[in-house]
Structure 1
């Protein structure tokens, strides 16, 4: 894939022009991209290695396979994929997958993917996944594994400590009104900081796995502990899978954003770890002010939050 087709704008153009359900023909695709059919087809074929009509047909078949794996009927899936008959859809599906739709079996997260010259695939619920180029170094593992586990363990320590506070103190605005990230509202209380620590993992797991947007309630400490245990387990499993497949340089077009945005998986993990560390520092500051770590030595994992001290346990 050329460099022009790796950035957010080109991915958005692919989504908008090629994969828009209203664009059934090359003429309609090109019109959405403000180009003639000839130049649109030549530009996209040269940059992505696949003609636009062929790309749309392949990605719609991938979407159809995913829908079938979720329990959709062959009839409904056929018409939603733009086929005029179930027979025509079944023939096309069989040519692409080597078996009829009724024989589709789930063989993992990417079971619905077909071979692609550009690494572009359907990613549920309605966006794209872009694989990294083969042989491209992607980094990962090692220190990342340590940071991930420390983040999870340290967050658990802070949640357990927060159980000792009365609800009024837990929800009391105590910090200046500033945003930790541009995605969220200002975080002034322990309740807001701890909820964002949990929700960040929930929402990124949903983005990467194609799950629905997660609920953000309830946010009392006991409920957050339960949410966190589920989110942490899912988050660690997702990152282990990325590392196992060496997919750190893959991209996901996050349909939970409005408008959708393209993110590199390694960047997502770095983002979560960076802002989790920032929030944990603020949470620890507030807990220390309330005397919850009184008597702890300065180099204790609970009081310091330092991975070096955590590793000495």
Structure 2
């Protein structure tokens, strides 16, 4: 049996609709879960659970393009709820499943060129441009972590949410004071909104004077997938050194796109940890925000403890 045949057997086990767990995939390939995961991760450069989730989303995107309902696509992809499917799809594609059209592609960035090929096959692309995994993880983790923190903040009372806990704190001079959970979270969301508007050539986004956590969550959910899609597009066309002339500045300024993304990532990371500190002072634990733990959870990995 050739190595290529064995890899194909492993891939078939990953994508078999009857196999929902690592143990079921491994059993179908006549291997132990440990050996199965190690071999596939080595040969295909992607963990089995992550590959299955990605290819199932690719198939769902193709089904939606053919006229399938969101509900049917969600069940076919193995999701237990339409809401969970919609969140995963939006996070992966940068747009909700309801916004898919016939002209959209269905492939997602992959480390190995392995993709769903309709109606039931796989396609292995010899060369593929996928966004640098570090950039992809930094952007996606930042967006997911921001959403998590806003969700935690929904558990605060209005008074605790708006309380000035660090009087006089200023992260960036032009942004003004960030003394409460509310103001730090609002700056996290608005930073992405305003840079996305600049890149897309839109007007300055509207900004509520006194948003609650639910309003911030709605704003974040609207802008996050668009920001991820924009960064992916910059990377796809190799536009990191392109210059943006930002007419929203007075007077207009020019910025290198790579520096814009680096700016958003840098101050997002700082503000997220700042929010964690403020939440703890309000009696709410919000985890560490460690990207190692985030990636393990996203890939469905259960092994490994807290990073030492």
Match of 2:177 in 1: 186
Report deviation, 1:289: 2.0
Match of 1:245 in 2: 237
In 1, the alpha carbon distance for the partners of 2:170 and 2:245 equals 24
Helix, strand or coil: the match of 2:175?
coil
Question: Is 2:162–2:181's contact at 8 Å kept on the other side of the alignment?
Answer: yes
In 1, the alpha carbon distance for the partners of 2:272 and 2:289 equals 8
Match of 2:216 in 1: 224
Deviating runs (4+, > 4 A) in structure 1?
A: none
Name the Cα RMSD after superposition. Answer: 1.8
Match of 1:211 in 2: 202
In 2, the alpha carbon distance for the partners of 1:166 and 1:192 equals 15
In 2, the alpha carbon distance for the partners of 1:234 and 1:225 equals 15
Report deviation, 1:290: 2.2
**Residue 167 (structure 1) aligned with residue 158 (structure 2):** yes
Report deviation, 1:219: 1.5
Report deviation, 1:254: 0.5
Q: After TM superposition, list the pairs within 5 Å mapping 1:226-305 onto structure 2.
A: 226-293=218-285, 302-305=286-289
In 1, the alpha carbon distance for the partners of 2:163 and 2:283 equals 16
Helix, strand or coil: the match of 1:304?
coil
Report deviation, 1:255: 0.6
- TM-score (structure 1 length as normaliser): 0.52
In 2, the alpha carbon distance for the partners of 1:288 and 1:251 equals 40
Gaps of 5+ in 2: 1-130, 298-308
Match of 1:306 in 2: 290
Match of 2:142 in 1: 151
Name which of 192, 197, 200 aligns with 2:188: 197
In 1, the alpha carbon distance for the partners of 2:132 and 2:296 equals 21
Question: Is 2:184–2:271's contact at 8 Å kept on the other side of the alignment?
Answer: yes
Higher relative contact order (CA 8 A, sep 6+): 1
Helix, strand or coil: the match of 1:259?
coil
How many residues align structurally? 168
